[in-house]
Structure 1
């Protein structure tokens, strides 16, 4: 890994705008675009894509630092859970799976976890299982930095503590979605990425994929505003819990098909996803707003008296947001190739508020 140093903003930063796919956006969307670009320049964001669609128009652009190669796809981290939940709810809609099915009806663990036999599919979808997060095991991070992070279901399960904590209450855990991944494989007879990719390709969203070759993609990890590590060669090997790659335009089409066109799921199925539980001590502040409720694979963000439904994603390489305001038919999709304490703060406390304040 090499050190990626940012020097003078005036010397190294510039932005590039994609061709607009639609007519010139209204003034308030252009204002958001200028604000986001200014923050990206001032805060040394490596690369960023943003697509915002409203009833009045669309703004769609990318920005990248001069020292960073332009790329056309980004890891979206835990936003994958939203996309995975939609694919899983299609199985529920088609009566191939029931939300209250027992997890133990599908999975048998090689080492016992007390209470596992009472867990349901719903407990996995809404993070109320109490299963420990395998990525919180110190060994996971150590292995990641040695390029030896667990890849298989069995290897990941081996990192899970053999206890259930906060059973029945919200406790965010990547383990829930690797269990869902395995259940989907058993139901469909396909590798998880094959089912996921075929589902989205069959719905005109082939740009949303799992299992891609990351060679040539850049990513940076910044703990301070002075420097960041080039972590392009890190391989995180997420699955249903965070392994999808795409761009902001494809995510915007996903939101359009799901919420505007209702072509991915039936309205009653979407409502089933919107069964909210309070996140209690695990709430996430976003500027003057807050994420305080979780559904079945989706988050609810309250901001300025408005409710936005979707998901955030943050790995050691990427950050993303995909949210929809059903009252005003506003979709927001943003992806970046940077993470770490510094970039996370810029993303959640500067970039996102700059967007939401003017919507």
Structure 2
């Protein structure tokens, strides 16, 4: 039996996340024509300016779905072959035997074996993901640093491999998606950002979604606060930040309404073909950056509770901002949630994040939003 939206339950659940310590969050939940939008807390801890559900937000790795969709549209056009070696297209970036062994599909589903470039781009975070030995200084040092994607790709390619090409479980690596951006540019003759804007964002009718060209978030938005596991106390605002460090792996700006529209159209087969969507939903086990092993498809991953319907979408985290967007497989029920504080957890003696009341409250909000 379908559970219709209950505004009272949703209002209580979103308020509970704020009470657990989240400065501000906002969300939209849809069930067919029924829509609930809610917000709790503040967008600025100094002025008390409230968050609102229409705010623009850095959505982090939700970007990966957009990048995957762009590649699949080129697969449909015949300009990219999903199981072709990346070395056929980008021999200078992934040379030799690795370029011949790693396919486009392996980049999209994180089974390429390519390492994460991140610790090499941020030297004081060089122990990442050994969080106990990292520090936040690089965040401030690199607020306005402009990285070129090929510079970051070179760091990931030169690093010790995370595994053999095609082996599972794969390892979640942003290097893969920066390479997909270079692939798009190679086959389309335009920048990947321009291609995605025209062929994905505008095609889906998203009015408040963009790949930024500078460090600012245009339009109404919240400040976003990074705690870095208690090492930044009080948490610091990182809403002004050059997102070239994440590029087509994580730089997108959007709204909760736009994300629900995008994933609804995608799951309905209106952005890519039904056969491409079926490919997106073919999953493999992938180890995430926090050490968990989850199923991952082509820029999508599933979420489900025992005995409940499966939802598909993506989450994202950048400095200070977090997002989760999930749509039921039939496209009817949709949820997008945005939060303006990241890593409030303290670290335990082994250097792993301890559970936080915010985590439990967010999980409860997700359950209410998806299943009622």
Common fold: TM-score over 0.5: yes
- In the alignment, what sits opposite 1:4? none
Does the C-alpha gap of structure 1 residues 56 and 153 become closer, same or farther in structure 2, counting only changes over 3 Å? closer
Contact 1:29 1:58 in 2 (8 A): no
Bigger mean CA offset, 185-194 vs 145-154? 145-154
Superposition deviation, residue 305 in structure 1: 2.8
Query: Aligned runs of 1:70-81 on 2, under 5 Å?
Result: 70=51, 72-81=55-64
Query: Aligned runs of 1:256-267 on 2, under 5 Å?
Result: 256-260=264-268, 262-267=269-274
Q: Gaps spanning 5+ residues in structure 2: where?
A: 126-136, 347-352
Query: Aligned runs of 1:14-29 on 2, under 5 Å?
Result: 28-29=6-7
Does the C-alpha gap of structure 1 residues 188 and 112 become closer, same or farther in structure 2, counting only changes over 3 Å? closer
How far apart are the structure 2 equivalents of 1:186 and 1:111? 14
Which of the residues 121, 141, 144 maps onto 1:146?
141
- In the alignment, what sits opposite 2:203? 202
Query: Aligned runs of 1:167-178 on 2, under 5 Å?
Result: 167=164, 168-169=167-168, 170-178=170-178
Aligned residues: 328
Asked if 1:159 is matched to 2:155, the reply is yes
Does the C-alpha gap of structure 1 residues 124 and 49 become closer, same or farther in structure 2, counting only changes over 3 Å? same
Q: State the secondary structure of the residue aligned to 2:337.
A: strand
Superposition deviation, residue 112 in structure 1: 5.2
Superposition deviation, residue 30 in structure 1: 3.0
Superposed structure 1 runs of 4+ greater than 6 Å apart: none
With the length of structure 1 as denominator, give the TM-score of the two structures.
Answer: 0.81
How far apart are the structure 2 equivalents of 1:214 and 1:174? 20
Contact 2:225 2:342 in 1 (8 A): yes
Instruction: For residues 161-199 of structure 1, give each alpha carbon's deviation from its aligned partner in whole angstroms, at most 9, with x where no partner exists.
Output: 443222222100000000000000111111121111112
With the length of structure 2 as denominator, give the TM-score of the two structures.
Answer: 0.78
Does the C-alpha gap of structure 1 residues 332 and 140 become closer, same or farther in structure 2, counting only changes over 3 Å? farther
Contact 1:276 1:293 in 2 (8 A): yes
How far apart are the structure 2 equivalents of 1:210 and 1:85? 15
Q: State the secondary structure of the residue aligned to 2:60.
A: coil
Q: State the secondary structure of the residue aligned to 1:311.
A: strand
Which of the residues 336, 354, 357 maps onto 2:365?
354
Does the C-alpha gap of structure 1 residues 50 and 110 become closer, same or farther in structure 2, counting only changes over 3 Å? closer
Asked if 1:239 is matched to 2:235, the reply is no
Superposition deviation, residue 250 in structure 1: 0.6
